[in-house]
A and B are shown apart, each in its own frame.
Chain A
């Protein structure tokens, strides 16, 4: 384990940026989101949760696929190049790291998504333990340890220093590259990190959503959950915006679109939301015609369909972003609780 004083962080970022691209939480107009580092960027490591999750770094909100160009009578197709540059995402949290595992299961299984695969191959994740978890967090419910992110490098924020521990080959390589700024942590440091972990665990125990039970949510519950009358009541406040899906670290649906610019057509993909009326629109029309069906789809996917296909792993990480951002104060916790209550009354 290594140690770096907080005052040396900007030197660290500069050093990383010399050889790699660097993405980290940057505050723009009052809101913190992952963005490319620059000297003028206002780096903000204190905000617990960025508005959007870090999935953008590996699965951007929009990305080009190929461009068709017309010159005279000739047409040419230029595929978008895969990511070749090494990059570092600094300051993810344990829940975001779990989010990447969820996306891996989708994009790295056959047929492999080459764009995502390339980014995963070249990206190194430096994740921070959550110094002060908040009331909207419920990662523990999904077995995520906020104190020990499963990333390439794990970082703990203790007092005036950050403790740095490489946990994979990529993590070792990055550590090697920035070694000049790191100092070997002594026993006191190791003890401080253990104390920080304990403190985090203690706070996590106090969070209001810790008692959330996922009993009954699994791949086998398909018909029972799908046909439940609870959805009819639950969806009503939903305004059908896509906020929950766009801030979510695990939502992975995308749409493919063409943009015509005179002599070129660029084909790109961008995030889509199952909350939208034209989601999975086909020639015959739409599969899901009511907002209730769209609403149900989102939560069934997270808690039933995904676990059914991925050995019981849920595609929710308990990051709590939907809890914070839904304009109608709906969220996955309320859905789970509504089913629990209904079970109790019967």
Chain B
């Protein structure tokens, strides 16, 4: 972490960047918030640890509108989002100085709490220089331990790889965290009967409170005015008054980002109700891979997206019923 701070100080001092976009220490051991730093003095609050899970590429949309360069710390998966935004002309490459930070997997405090650990006072083992094996947690109710892997976000278990897709320099080591198949859960659902599928999504989506956290945290959801916010259109619903609306919202949102979603997992991370929203996006990704050839959004900045492309031989929609 000190390395990141030192580098930030250097670049601020020599005027390469006007500000630094990173994380500020929170008031609990696990709640650092994304923040801008404009001076060496402000950097005293800088922090970068396992709980810095937010995808800062999303913030670069706003940062690109500011005067001067912004130094930003991106983990490998964030760089996919940055590439995708670059392709869509939503961020400015010249306004960004990208430090690719090594990643040993990001932590989900909800997963720690699900293990019955509460009254958390301090957490050891979450720093990026730690070996990411075990978390030692001091709580009001005594000391607890938790394996790092068990506390990791879902997305880290199916990590796309620790290679930064775009960067100006790299700092820090990474550690392989992939220990599950990316599409396993999607396949599990596909194998269900229509009744089971319906019941599964009904139960998950009935929790949706339409807070729009998934949309607002999503780097692919970068529309200035969302169709679900437009008061000139009856799609603007603030509550799921009927069970139809939760499906409408999530299907359309997933569809709008289909072919552009890098599978960064922010939607699932931020959902206050723990809805596995990535299962929608991943279904589209899986279908695209199977039907139109493997495609990873954000892997590059010049390929044609699957939904703005076609071939004469594309599968007919009737294939949906024919596949197993």
Interface on A for B, CB 8 Å cutoff? 28-31, 33, 48, 51-52, 61-62, 132-136, 203, 206-209, 236-237, 239-243, 245-247, 255, 257, 259-260, 268, 270-273, 276-278, 281, 323, 325, 327-331, 333-334, 337
Contact = CB atoms under 8 A, between A and B. Distances in A.
B120 to A, nearest CB: 5
A30 B209 contact: no
B279 interface: no
Interface stretch (B153-161, B236-244, B254-262): B236-244
B32 interface: yes
Specify which of B121, B272, B274 lies most central, judged by the most chain A CB atoms within 10 Å of its CB.
B272
B140 interface: yes
17 contacts: A33-B273, A51-B207, A61-B239, A62-B239, A135-B28, A207-B140, A208-B27, A239-B58, A243-B213, A247-B272, A257-B237, A268-B241, A327-B217, A327-B269, A327-B270, A328-B34, A329-B33
A241 B239 contact: no
A51 B34 contact: no
Contact of A135 (B59, B118, B239): B118
Nearest to B118: A134
B238 A329 contact: no
Q: Is the interface of A mostly helix, strand, loop or mixed?
A: loop
B118 A28 contact: no
Nearest to A270: B239
Given A136-B28, A281-B231, A328 B211 contact: no
B312 interface: no
Specify which of B26, B36, B213, B215 lies most central, judged by the most chain A CB atoms within 10 Å of its CB.
B213
Contacts of A28: 203, 206-207
Interface in B199-243: 203-204, 206-207, 209-213, 215-217, 225, 229, 231, 234, 236-241
Nearest to B62: A236
Q: Is the interface of B mostly helix, strand, loop or mixed?
A: loop
A31 B274 CA distance: 7
Given A135-B140, A243-B211, A260-B234, A31 B239 contact: no
Contacts of B119: 132-135, 203, 206-207
B310 interface: no
A25 to B, nearest CB: 13
A241 B33 contact: no
B237 A278 contact: no
A58 to B, nearest CB: 16
Interface string B176-218: 0000000000000000000000000001101101111101110
Nearest to B275: A29
Interface in B152-177: none
Contacts of B207: 28-29, 31, 33, 51
Contacts of A31: 207, 273-274
Contacts of A136: 28
Contacts of A268: 241
A209 B121 CA distance: 11
Interface string B10-49: 0000000000000000111001111110000000000000
